[in-house]
Amino acid sequence: MIRLSAITPSGHVQLGNYLGAVRRWAREGTPDDVYFISDLHAMTSSHNPAKLRTLTREQFAVLIATGVDPHSVCVQSDLVRELGALTWVLECTCTYGEAARMTQFKEKSAKTNSASRSSVRLSLLTYPVLMAADILLQGAGEVPVGEDQLQHVELARALARRFNGTYGEVFTVPKAVVPKAGARIKDLADPARKMAKSARDSTGTVFVLDPPDLVRRKIRRAVSSPEGIANLADVLTACTGKEAEDFTDRYAELKDVVADAVIEELRPVRERTVELLEDQPELDRIRASGASRARSRAQHTLDAALRLSGLT
């Protein structure tokens, strides 16, 4: 069973991404799985090309440094031709109503006023179809996602079924899986929000590549509300693998213990990432081999889908 998951280079990898996704991919993944940097998805809102390239490279290095199997890691745009072709076929399988119904599109496009919807990129509407292409091209059977992405995996399922039923059996029908264990890490400064790499204010976000003294400062400044303390206990448990002891009325001590644990957990990842980023040829080699693996796995499905659609 091929599992497929992605991280979008919309910012630096943060502690929640690491504990909730990347470390899991390293620990639980198999070489058959696909873990990729979704740089195409990062273009659905205003983006800076140089920054996109740098973040993509950095995230790729973090995945490798964490120990995700290099055979299963790739960069989405290394398959842009294959994905472009399959996205077109799937857009011709999808209705406008299905795309416009996506909650995430409605939320992201309607943030300020009604004029904002007409000025959002068209790709914000169509990106769930690209996501379906990501999944179907690789023949993924399981797609671990957060609740917010369930609807998109449902769309991929619907499109796979429809295409198979209309033109012929090509696609594996994917299933969404929501990992149950593992808390969502909250923002340290505002525990009502989950930690996110694209948060506008990063005082409550620990980035995997933050230097240790900055990690400690951010954790010391974490809010000490019940939610904030519970979040710190979750972080501690995730780092040490043990239930946190009771730190009632000893919050300063708790914060130091959490800071120590996070710093130790991230240290090898940070050091290895820095090494990799300084070794461009090695990084390029790993990336090229991941891309060629993903591309060759995609070829048969893509050829069949094009042929059955009446193309090529």
170-229 residues near ligand ATP, rule: CB under 6 A: 184-185, 194-198
Q: How far is the CB of 37 from ligand ATP (least distance, A)?
A: 9
Using CA atoms, how far apart are residues 301 and 211, in angstroms rounded to an integer? 44
CB atoms within 10 A of CB 282: 14
Using CA atoms, how far apart are residues 24 and 35, in angstroms rounded to an integer? 11
Window of 16-24, 167-175, 207-215, 279-287 that interacts with ligand ATP by CB under 6 A: 16-24
Using CA atoms, how far apart are residues 220 and 217, in angstroms rounded to an integer? 5
Nearer to ligand ATP among residue 155 and residue 170 (C-beta): 155
> Measured at the alpha carbon of residue 77, what is the angle toward residues 74 and 80, in degrees to the nearest 5?
120
Window of 3-11, 100-108, 210-218, 243-251 that interacts with ligand ATP by CB under 6 A: 3-11
- Residue 109 interacting with ligand ATP (CB under 6 A): no
Judge whether 129 and 91 are in contact, CB under 8 Å: yes
Q: Which of 265, 216, 32 is nearest to 138 (CA)?
A: 32
108, 175, 186, 218: the catalytic one is 108
- Pick one of 10, 44, 77, 231: the residue that binds ligand ATP (CB under 6 A): 10
Strands 142-144 and 175-177: parallel
- Residue 16 interacting with ligand ATP (CB under 6 A): yes
Q: Which of 80, 87, 98, 95 is nearest to 129 (CA)?
A: 87
Question: Encoding tokens for residue 102?
Answer: 């996506």
Q: How far is the CB of 45 from ligand ATP (least distance, A)?
A: 10
Active site residue 242: no
Nearer to ligand ATP among residue 3 and residue 194 (C-beta): 194
> Measured at the alpha carbon of residue 42, what is the angle toward residues 262 and 111, in degrees to the nearest 5?
95
Binding mask 136-175 for ligand ATP (x = CB under 6 A): ----------x-----------------------------
Using CA atoms, how far apart are residues 274 and 278, in angstroms rounded to an integer? 6
Active site residue 197: yes
- Residue 2 interacting with ligand ATP (CB under 6 A): no
- Pick one of 20, 128, 191, 228: the residue that binds ligand ATP (CB under 6 A): 20
Active site residue 255: no
- Pick one of 3, 8, 136, 142: the residue that binds ligand ATP (CB under 6 A): 8
> Measured at the alpha carbon of residue 38, what is the angle toward residues 31 and 12, in degrees to the nearest 5?
100
- Residue 14 interacting with ligand ATP (CB under 6 A): yes
Q: How far is the CB of 162 from ligand ATP (least distance, A)?
A: 27
- Pick one of 21, 40, 129, 286: the residue that binds ligand ATP (CB under 6 A): 21
Judge whether 94 and 310 are in contact, CB under 8 Å: no
Crossing angle, helix 212-220 and helix 251-278, to 10 degrees? 150
106, 111, 197, 218: the catalytic one is 197
Which residue sits closest to ligand ATP, CB atoms considered?
20
Catalytic residues: 108, 194, 197
Per CB under 6 A, residues contacting ligand ATP are: 5, 7-8, 10-11, 14, 16-17, 20-21, 146, 184-185, 194-198
